[in-house]
Amino acid sequence: MLHAVTLIPGDGTGPEITEATRRVLEATGVQFDWDIRQAGIEMLAKYGTVLPDDVLDSIKQTKVALKGPITTPVGKGFRSANVALRKKLDLYANLRPAKTYKGLRSRYEHIDLIIVRENTEDLYAGIEFQRGTPELEEMIETIARTTGIHLSHDSAISIKCISEQASRRIVKFAFEYARCHGRRKVTAVHKSNIMKFSDGLFLATAHEVAKEYPDIQFEDRIVDNMCMQLVQKPELYDVLVLPNLYGDIISDLSAGLIGGLGVAPGANIGSQYAVFEPVHGSAPKYAKQNKVNPMAMMFSGVLMLRHLGEEDAANRLEQAISQVIVEGKWLTYDLKPRPDDPTAVGTSQVADAVIEKLSKL
């Protein structure tokens, strides 16, 4: 079967890791009809946006995309193209597995966590009021009138919004994932002791949804305690479901537990579309150097193969990557004991090694 997939190389190191990933995906024998679409910092000058409309149009056709990272220009009033993509396609669930593979340098063994991050609201919704603006003054007055709290006029404000509908669908997603993948437990992570209304709503909704899944254990943890627990005893946890910001932070923490961002994959899933991408960013300082690790994007490709129903190819690709890790010969600098290790190889050599392993599976 031929799978139509939108391929977005992105910018920074994105094009190199995308090319490496495209090569290993094709080496599984699965047939792809790639629709290559450009997004990223280089599109700004041409189109005045890092995310041209044709990218979204293509994903609406193919329903599936594999995406390299895209840089968010700092402090120039640009919103993140990554956040925009997730919002415009309503990719409400961000799935970020964190799994230890034998041979990865990590302080832990046997970690197999699934982070399910809400992707559309919370402090990421972009409701912000800049210091010194009339809008901020109006907000400060409204807050004083409605709460009696007088904020300092040199403040800036970001609004955290959590809805029942978005909480319900993300918690349901976590439980459905747990059920379909033979997982035993879902943990909801929050800070409802302080944010009683927003996180309180998330937690109350999670408790309600949990009642529909008596076959799966449910518990909750306050986010600060969760951070400590994940460092001390990560093996106690299975599927975590979190509002957007905590999900972002905890998924990087979890990437740290398993050997770093170079091996941490991700998927953004909605009811109609899915976009697969590594957790890490565009690492622009290493662009065009054939240096960074393509494995996080390759593992995102494994998730994509599963989504496309290509289970056998997914298992073979995962096995081939894990064999390369165990062998330890064809690894990029980030998986070496020291970043200046002279035996570290480049992005394309990792792809060659994975393809070689695939040819024997």
Per the DSSP assignment, residues forming a β-bridge with 99 are 112
Among 282, 300, 322, 323, which residue sits at the site for ligand NAD (rule: CB under 6 A)? 282
CB of 283 to ligand NAD, least distance (A): 4
What is the rounded CA–CA span in Å between residue 10 and residue 114? Answer: 25
The one among 118, 277, 310, 318 contacting ligand NAD by CB under 6 A: 277
190 sits in which H/E element: strand 185-190
What is the three-state SS of 321-336? HHHHHHHCCCCCHHHC
Active site residue 154: no
Rounded to 10 degrees, the C-alpha dihedral 18/348/300/31 comes to 70
Query: Would you count residue 270 as binding ligand NAD (CB under 6 A)?
Result: no
Q: How far is the CB of 2 from ligand NAD (least distance, A)?
A: 27
123: DSSP letter = G
Confirm or reject binding of residue 261 to ligand NAD (CB under 6 A): yes
Q: Which of 51, 95, 255, 296 binds ligand NAD (CB under 6 A)?
A: 296
* Cβ burial, residue 182 (10 Å; 0-12/13-18/19+): exposed
Among the listed residues 53, 60, 196, 224, the single catalytic one is 224
Tell me whether residue 237 is one of the annotated catalytic residues.
no
Whether 248 sits among the annotated catalytic residues: the reply is yes
Structure tokens at 215: 């076959």
Hey, how many other C-beta atoms are within 10 angstroms of the C-beta on 272?
A: 11
Rank residues 58 and 332 by Cβ distance to ligand NAD and give the closer one: 332
Is residue 87 flagged as an active site residue? no
The yes or no reply on residue 350 touching ligand NAD (CB under 6 A) is no
| Given 8, 115, 269, 283, the residue binding ligand NAD (CB under 6 A) | 283
Please tell me whether residue 247 binds ligand NAD under the rule CB under 6 A: no
Hey, what are 26's tokens? 């094709």
Q: What whole-number distance in Å separates Cα of residue 249 and Cα of residue 117?
A: 10
Q: Which two tokens mark 94?
A: 């961000």
- Binding-residue pattern over the window 313 to 332 for ligand NAD, x denoting contact by CB under 6 A: -------------------x
Tokens of 250: 């905890």
Among 37, 209, 334, 358, binds ligand NAD (CB under 6 A): 334
Cβ closer to ligand NAD: 81 or 140? 81
Size of the site for ligand NAD (CB under 6 A): 18
The answer to the question of residue 122 lying near ligand NAD (CB under 6 A) is no
CA distance 56 to 39: 10
Q: Measured between alpha carbons, how far is 36 from 55 in angstroms, rounded to an integer?
A: 9
Per CB under 6 A, 82 contacts ligand NAD: yes
* Residue 39 contacts ligand NAD per CB under 6 A: no
CB 8 within 8 A of CB 56: no
- Three-class secondary structure of residue 7 per DSSP: strand
Q: Determine which residue in the list 18, 28, 58, 71 makes contact with ligand NAD, applying CB under 6 A.
A: 71
Q: Which of 262, 265, 270, 346 binds ligand NAD (CB under 6 A)?
A: 262
The upper half-sphere exposure of residue 46, i.e. CA atoms within 13 Å in the direction of its Cβ, equals 10
Using Cβ positions, the residue closest to ligand NAD within the complex turns out to be 281
CB of 284 to ligand NAD, least distance (A): 6
Q: Which of 20, 43, 62, 69 binds ligand NAD (CB under 6 A)?
A: 69
Distant-in-sequence, close-in-space partners of 111: CB < 8 Å, separation ≥ 6: 98, 99, 100, 234, 235, 254, 257, 258
Catalytic residue ranges: 124, 191, 224, 248
Residues within the interface to ligand NAD (CB under 6 A): 69-72, 82, 261-262, 277, 280-283, 286, 292-293, 296, 332, 334
